[in-house]
Amino acid sequence: MNKVKQAGFTIVELLVVIVIIGILATIGFVTFANAQNSAKKSDVEATMSLAKSKLGEYYAQYNTYPQDEAALSTYLEETNNKTVSDKLAGINGIDVIEYLAEPGGCTVTESRDASGDLTGATGTCTSFTLTGLASYWGDNDPSNNKTIRP
């Protein structure tokens, strides 16, 4: 009896190829996710640095810091820094950066002209804390939050 040799791959060979492709895809996905989280973390750090600079300008001009996140967001929007104010507000319902004026309970009285533009501020806020929340870049450990103070 002559056996006819058939061309093609065996089921084992096909399964080995599928497993190798699956492993490579998993490695690629994990690497991509890590790169994405790293980019988010860098973005938050850059935004916090810009916010710190803008807070320095506010303090130099008014000798106090904004008393809360809402006042800071308003100031940032008025000075064309919407990117920073958007991150203070959160992205897709996720908090990104938190602002806290110090000492706790400090107050600021802002003066505005007829068009609503900020013309002056007096208050007792002498410091602040900006916190970049690690949960935004996929790290659920609060000890990995980024914090900036003046």
Regions of the chain where pLDDT drops below 50:
none
Question: Residue 19: inside a domain, yes or no?
Answer: yes
Question: Residue 31: inside a domain, yes or no?
Answer: yes
Question: Residue 3: inside a domain, yes or no?
Answer: no
Question: Residue 2: inside a domain, yes or no?
Answer: no
Question: Residue 70: inside a domain, yes or no?
Answer: yes
> What pLDDT does residue 74 have?
83
Question: Residue 5: inside a domain, yes or no?
Answer: no
Cα 10 to chain centroid distance, Å, stands at 51
Report yes or no on whether pTM surpasses 0.85.
no
| Token pair for 139 | 């790290």
Beta-carbon contacts of residue 84 (< 8 Å; ≥ 6 apart): 47, 50, 51, 54, 76, 97
Mean pLDDT score of the chain: 86
Instruction: Please give the tally of structural domains in the chain.
Output: 1
Q: Distance between CA atoms of 124 and 6, rounded to whole angstroms?
A: 87
Domain that holds residue 78: 11-148
